[in-house]
């Protein structure tokens, strides 16, 4: 198989795992590359895509996990706009109705942009008692497109410096909201968003807490001295290469006596929290989200 085709198929497999489309659509797209469904099946096996699981942990989400856009207990703004370093930034915003000022929480998406799943996670954060803003890091391109392949291509055109600048602008925006306790800000990121969350936590003193879900890339160990806020790092046992890479970071944080928490979820793989993806692990996701909200409650709401 040509290297270009293999890379394209691996990219499609990654999008499938992250919940961009179902297995039927994955096979259709890979068959377009390989020329047949049989070849597509073999190609997916070659890039290590796990077979569809029959494990009961992969059951559909419990009814109380996803939060609908029209949830009566929330005030949801589907697309807010605020200034950024390179132009307007877009975001999904939610907060509890009729609540006093609350801590602000920045939700940082994966490398497929601000999709429906991350909007839902933003609303979950609001239901947990925060003013939540899910920033669209593809705002510089006009916002996240509907096609996940196109969103991934656009994300790959972003830069670490540009993403960091937009995240800092989002924190500035949270500071301006009368519904936010301006000195109580947190950030949570998933996958590539977790890598951006690491970078943000190492750059600014505006954060009071950060939570990283299987964040990649992990920060260099010689750059951890600048970390001020507590960090909770959540990784997956079967995501072995990435999880191994974070272990020196955890060791260094311990050496520096930085406040942090660290969990590796047994039997889970990358993107185990994403309930729209093939690697969703219900019990691990629920436990990790419970740890996340408790961590933010401790560091953003307690005196």
Taking each helix axis from N to C terminus, what angle separates 23-34 and 3-17, rounded to the nearest 10 degrees? 170
Do 212 and 288 reside in the same domain of the chain?
Answer: yes
Task: Classify residue 278: in a domain, yes or no.
Answer: yes
pLDDT interval class at 23 (50, 70, 90): confident
What are the distances in angstroms from CA 297 to CA 22, 84, 100, 103?
35, 29, 15, 9
Query: What are 186-234's pLDDT values in tens digits?
Result: 999 999 999 999 999 999 999 999 999 999 999 999 999 999 999 999 9
The overall average pLDDT reported for the chain is 91
Task: Classify residue 58: in a domain, yes or no.
Answer: no
Do 157 and 239 reside in the same domain of the chain?
Answer: yes
Instruction: Give me the CATH number covering residue 166.
Output: 3.40.50.1820
Q: 104 and 186 in contact (C-beta within 8 Å)?
A: yes
Task: Classify residue 65: in a domain, yes or no.
Answer: no
Task: Classify residue 67: in a domain, yes or no.
Answer: no
Residues of the chain above pLDDT 90, percent: 77
Q: 125 and 101 in contact (C-beta within 8 Å)?
A: no
Query: What are 144-177's pLDDT values in tens digits?
Result: 999 999 999 999 999 999 999 999 999 999 999 9
Do 45 and 83 reside in the same domain of the chain?
Answer: no
Do 46 and 78 reside in the same domain of the chain?
Answer: no
Tracing tokens 């990283």 back to the chain, one arrives at 212
Do 22 and 150 reside in the same domain of the chain?
Answer: no
Query: What are 238-254's pLDDT values in tens digits?
Result: 999 999 999 999 999 99
Task: Classify residue 8: in a domain, yes or no.
Answer: yes
Q: Tell me the two tokens of residue 126.
A: 């609001």
Task: Classify residue 296: in a domain, yes or no.
Answer: yes
Q: Count of domains in the chain?
A: 2
The structure's pTM equals: 0.83
Do 37 and 82 reside in the same domain of the chain?
Answer: no
The pLDDT score that the predictor gives to residue 1 is 56
Do 107 and 181 reside in the same domain of the chain?
Answer: yes
The pLDDT score that the predictor gives to residue 14 is 83
Do 132 and 166 reside in the same domain of the chain?
Answer: yes
Q: What is the largest CA-CA distance in the chain?
A: 61
State yes or no: pLDDT of 53 exceeds 80.
Answer: no
* Helix/strand/coil (H/E/C) assignment for every residue in the chain: CCHHHHHHHHHHHHHHHCCCCCHHHHHHHHHHHHCCHHHHHHHHHHCCCCCCCCCHHHCCCCCCCCCCCCCCCEEEEEEEEEEECCEEEEEEEEEECCCCCEEEEEEECCCCCCCHHHHHHHHHHHHCCCEEEEECCCHHHCCCCCCHHHHHHHHCCCCHHHHHHHHHHHHHHHHHCCCEEEEEEEEEEECHHHHHHHHHHHHCCCCCEEEEECCCCCCCHHHHHHCCCCEEEEEECCCHHHHHHHHHHHHHHHHCCCCEEEEEECCCCCCCCCCCCCCCCHHHHHHHHHHHHHHHHHHHHCC
Do 139 and 184 reside in the same domain of the chain?
Answer: yes
Do 10 and 83 reside in the same domain of the chain?
Answer: no
Task: Classify residue 272: in a domain, yes or no.
Answer: yes
Task: Classify residue 239: in a domain, yes or no.
Answer: yes
Do 29 and 121 reside in the same domain of the chain?
Answer: no
Tracing tokens 């969103």 back to the chain, one arrives at 151
Do 183 and 244 reside in the same domain of the chain?
Answer: yes
The pLDDT score that the predictor gives to residue 50 is 54
List the domain range (segments joined by +) for residue 232.
Answer: 74-301
Tally the residues of the chain: 303
């Amino acid at each position: 198989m040509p290297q270009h085709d293999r890379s394209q198929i691996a990219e499609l497999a990654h999008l499938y795992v992250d919940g961009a489309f179902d297995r039927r659509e994955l096979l259709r797209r890979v068959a377009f590359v390989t020329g047949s469904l049989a070849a597509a099946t073999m190609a997916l096996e070659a890039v290590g895509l796990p077979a569809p699981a029959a494990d009961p942990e992969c059951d559909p989400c419990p009814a109380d996990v996803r939060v609908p856009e029209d949830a009566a207990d929330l005030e949801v703004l589907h697309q807010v706009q605020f200034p950024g370093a390179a132009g307007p930034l877009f975001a999904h915003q939610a907060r509890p109705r009729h609540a006093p000022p609350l801590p602000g929480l920045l939700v940082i998406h994966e490398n497929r942009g601000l999709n429906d799943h991350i909007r839902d996670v933003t609303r979950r954060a609001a239901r947990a008692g925060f003013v939540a803003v899910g920033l669209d890091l593809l705002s510089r391109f006009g916002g996240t497109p509907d096609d996940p392949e196109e969103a991934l291509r656009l994300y790959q055109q972003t830069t670490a410096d540009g993403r960091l600048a937009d995240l800092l602008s989002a924190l500035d925006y949270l500071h301006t909201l009368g519904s936010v306790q301006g000195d109580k800000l947190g950030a949570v990121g998933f996958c590539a968003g977790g890598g951006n969350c690491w970078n943000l936590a190492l750059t600014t003193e505006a954060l009071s807490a950060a939570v990283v879900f299987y964040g990649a890339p992990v920060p260099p160990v010689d750059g951890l001295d600048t970390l001020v806020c507590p960090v909770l790092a959540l990784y997956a046992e079967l995501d072995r290469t990435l999880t191994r890479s974070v272990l020196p970071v955890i060791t260094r944080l311990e050496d520096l006596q930085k406040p942090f928490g660290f969990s590796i979820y047994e039997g889970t793989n990358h993107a185990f929290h994403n309930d729209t993806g093939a690697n969703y692990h219900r019990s691990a996701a629920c436990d990790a989200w419970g740890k996340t909200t408790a961590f933010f409650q401790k560091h953003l709401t307690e005196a």
